[in-house]
Amino acid sequence: MCRLIAITSQTPLSPMIAIGALDAMKEGHDGSGVGLFLSDLGGHFGELKGEPILSGIFTNAGMKRLDGFMMEVGFLTKYKLSIKVPKTPPPGVPKRDIYLIRAYEYPETWEGLSQSEIHHRLMNIRLRLRHMGEEKEDMIVFSFWPDVIMIKEIGEPLAVAEHLQLERPELQARVMIAQGRQNTNYAINLYACHPFFIQGVATMTNGENTAFVPIREFLMSRGFPGYIGYQSDSEVFTHTLHFMLNRLGLPIEAYKHVITPLSGEDLENHPNRRFLKHLKHVCRRLIIDGPNCVIGCLPDKTLFLVQDRKKLRPGVVGGRPGFYAISSEMCGLDVAIPDRDKSKDFQPMYLDTVYIRPDRQEVTTCRQTDELPLPR
Amino acid sequence: MSSDGRIAPSTLSVKDLPWQIHWNKDQCTLCGRCTAVCPVHAIELGVFPKRIVHASVGLKEAPSHVYEVYHGIRQKTDPAYACVGCAMCSLVCPNDCIMPYRSDEADKLRYHVNRGGQPRRRGGRRNVPGGILDQIKFIRISMLTDPALDAGRHEFEMRTLLGRVLPPEQDLKLLHEERWIPPVREIYPLMIGAMSFGALSPTMWEGLQMGVAYLNEELGMPVRMCTGEGGCPPRLLRSRFLKYVILQIASGYFGWTGLSGPYLK
């Protein structure tokens, strides 16, 4: 079981807050890795809104290949953060050459392209870098997207954070989601580390998904180049959400109807039953089977949480206007936001989708049996 | 037949062997050369019981009998010593009283010579190690969660979809535009090992068909059954219950499972 924390705040915060919350929940993960997704950035990166930021881990040779490739495509470095790490990493953390966070200026030839075309090209560049890195094992790329920084590393979260000096002001962000990893089934691989990211959509999951294989097959057969990887069974949650948002054009409230559709009387009594029956039939292969708590961030910086059909994994949301957090455990929430009205903490149940819009004024709860706000 | 007369299911008679040795008792001098020379030891000295009946002419003496033995040649029925028809026995016999003859029917010996190991079976296994069945391992899905403790979390959906399921984008678009969409129904698949009709006995498919008809007509359940590539029995083709059967003809797809939705166009 992994431990998750998601924080959204009006003022930029250091990622150490999220790491501290993971540390408080350390009984729930085995320190086999940490993943961090930062968005709505503060610091200098925050001033570069719109410019894509590349996050990844490179060897010195990989760095040269990256520079050559990016020059060829026409990207110019605008701002970079090179994390200089001490020579000897803490125990359990592999030795790396360069942790790279670099903002680029779009190539001139991209001017006038539509937003969706730019998004498609950004993803393709990330995929090409990933393939290049897999060939020679000299680069690992997590994200290439405006206003997004991702850091992943194997090891105990607090030790990794201190090793990488995540305290630094350049990394402050208003939205952050982080996961402390519990290694379950597979050899530790950084591409198997949550959160997963595709075109602005980032999610992380607590629990395992037994229906992983048919979902993966369905997604891979969609003919979308970004639906690859699947080193972890949780990556399908991200891609399913991306598929629903981008290909089906549905709102976040419909996510639960895709992964855990209603059945029987609940479905018959739903105001949108005709639509939901169609959705259930056509997205049948996307139905999950597992104890899962999915926490994530949408392209518009909305944070959300959904539970599986039986609410078999913990999750709690709390905070105050302007500052909210979603956490696997209460102790993580206490560390992230100690001064809050605890009586308003909410533990979403099996029908609930909880989200916090980017204005951060309230926590909205949507029950699956409620009417869907469908686009007209 | 051995002299002590035991008969087991695999016992052979002399007639089952490819060569039978004919021996003439009246001409035999009991010299023993034939048994000595036989290269495969197909024959051995035999002691035979014989009942001799004395029935003298007239009524004075009642008929009587006596048991005697006589000696001669016995052909072994053990396949390991089967006669090969070399006729060495004839060559050495001073009175020409012994001769091997080719059996006038197909010998059954071939079913007995390959001793040990596994008998041949249908089903394609060649007893070659490393087959796919030998490689299947049964392991736990998760290292963390004990499936026995966690079994309650799984949801089992019995029903499957029947009809042409469109890609999600297309279906929702047509639904939004209120246009025609191919009908899709949820049905209970009755899946019997995905065997096609061709592999079932008449008793079996008729029984299944009765079950399907019962579920439809008595219980009102929308149950259908697919013939598979084995074809449909003519008796069923003429039946009014044909409406509960999905005829699968030259689909090029072997078997029918819940996952085969896209193949059922």
User: Does residue B125 belong to any structural domain of this protein?
Assistant: no
Q: What is residue B258's predicted lDDT score, i.e. its pLDDT?
A: 47
CATH of the domain at B66: 3.30.70
Q: Determine which of B140, B143, B144, B176 to mutate to test the interface with A (most A C-beta atoms within 10 Å).
A: B144
Per residue in A73-131, pLDDT tens? Answer: 999 999 988 787 888 888 888 888 899 999 999 999 998 999 999 999 999 999 999 99
User: Does residue B66 belong to any structural domain of this protein?
Assistant: yes
Per residue in B153-194, pLDDT tens? Answer: 677 777 888 889 999 999 999 999 999 999 998 887 766 556
Residue numbers in chain A where pLDDT is lower than 50: none
If pLDDT is split at 50, 70 and 90, which confidence band does B255 have? low
- Phi then psi for residue A5, to 5 deg, are -145, 135
Task: Please state the pTM of the whole predicted model.
Answer: 0.70
Domain boundaries, chain A: 3-367
| Domain assignment of residue B78, given as a range | 14-111
Residue among A57, A38, A29 nearest A329 (CA): A29
B181 and B252: one domain? yes
Q: Which numeric CATH code is attached to A3-367? A: 3.60.20.10
> Average pLDDT of chain B?
81
The shortest CB-CB distance from A210 to any of B141, B161, B165 is to B141
Q: What is residue B261's predicted lDDT score, i.e. its pLDDT?
A: 40
Q: Could you tell me the CA-to-CA distances from B47 to A329, B70, B75, B258 in Å, in that order?
A: 95, 6, 12, 71
Q: What is residue B265's predicted lDDT score, i.e. its pLDDT?
A: 30
B142 with A208: Cβ contact below 8 A: yes
Out of B111, B146, B174, pick the residue that ends a domain. B111
- Which residues, in sequence order, are bridge partners of residue A317? A326, A346
DSSP labels for A79-120? EEEEEPPPSSPPTTPPP-SEEEEEEEEPPGGGTT--HHHHHH
B165 and B104: one domain? no
Structure tokens at A185: 């089934």
* Inter-residue long-range contacts of B167-173, CB under 8 Å, 24+ positions, other chains counted: B167/A282, B168/A243, B168/A247, B168/A248, B168/A279, B168/A282, B168/A283, B169/A247, B169/A248, B171/A278, B171/A281, B171/A282, B172/A248, B172/A275, B172/A278, B172/A279, B172/A282
Q: DSSP strand E in chain B: where?
A: 19-23, 43-54, 64-75, 98-102, 160-163, 184-189, 223-226, 245-246
| A326: exposed, middle or buried (Cβ count in 10 Å: 0-12, 13-18, 19+) | buried
Q: Could you tell me the CA-to-CA distances from A93 to A86, A96, A153, A156, A171 in Å, in that order?
A: 12, 9, 7, 8, 21
B166 with A208: Cβ contact below 8 A: no
B101 and B166: one domain? no
User: Does residue B120 belong to any structural domain of this protein?
Assistant: no
Question: Looking at the 3D structure of chain B, how many domains does it have?
Answer: 2
Q: What is residue A310's predicted lDDT score, i.e. its pLDDT?
A: 84
Enumerate the H helices of A184-325 as residue ranges: 212-220, 235-242, 255-259, 264-268, 273-282
Out of B78, B111, B144, pick the residue that ends a domain. B111
Out of B45, B76, B111, pick the residue that ends a domain. B111
The whole-angstrom separation of Cα B68 and Cα B49 is 6
User: Does residue B138 belong to any structural domain of this protein?
Assistant: no
ipTM: 0.87
Structure tokens at B182: 């191919």
User: Does residue B4 belong to any structural domain of this protein?
Assistant: no
B188 and B255: one domain? yes
Nearest chain B Cα distance for residue A87, angstroms: 35
User: Does residue B171 belong to any structural domain of this protein?
Assistant: yes
B259 with A182: Cβ contact below 8 A: no
User: Does residue B152 belong to any structural domain of this protein?
Assistant: no
Contacts with B, A 285-324, CB within 8 Å: 287, 289-291, 308-310, 312
Amino acid at position A318, single letter: G
| Residues on chain B bordering chain A, Cβ-to-Cβ distance under 8 angstroms | 141-145, 150, 152-155, 157, 161, 165-169, 171-172, 175, 181, 184, 259
Per residue in B64-123, pLDDT tens? Answer: 999 999 999 999 988 889 999 999 999 999 999 999 999 988 877 766 665 666 655 555
Query: Nearest residue on chain B to A291, judged by CA atoms?
Result: B153
If pLDDT is split at 50, 70 and 90, which confidence band does B147 have? low
Axis crossing angle, helix A115-136 with helix A60-73, rounded to the nearest 10: 150
A214 with B259: Cβ contact below 8 A: yes
A248 with B172: Cβ contact below 8 A: yes
B98 and B164: one domain? no
Q: What is residue B264's predicted lDDT score, i.e. its pLDDT?
A: 39
State the Cα angle at A150 between A99 and A290, rounded to 5°. Answer: 130
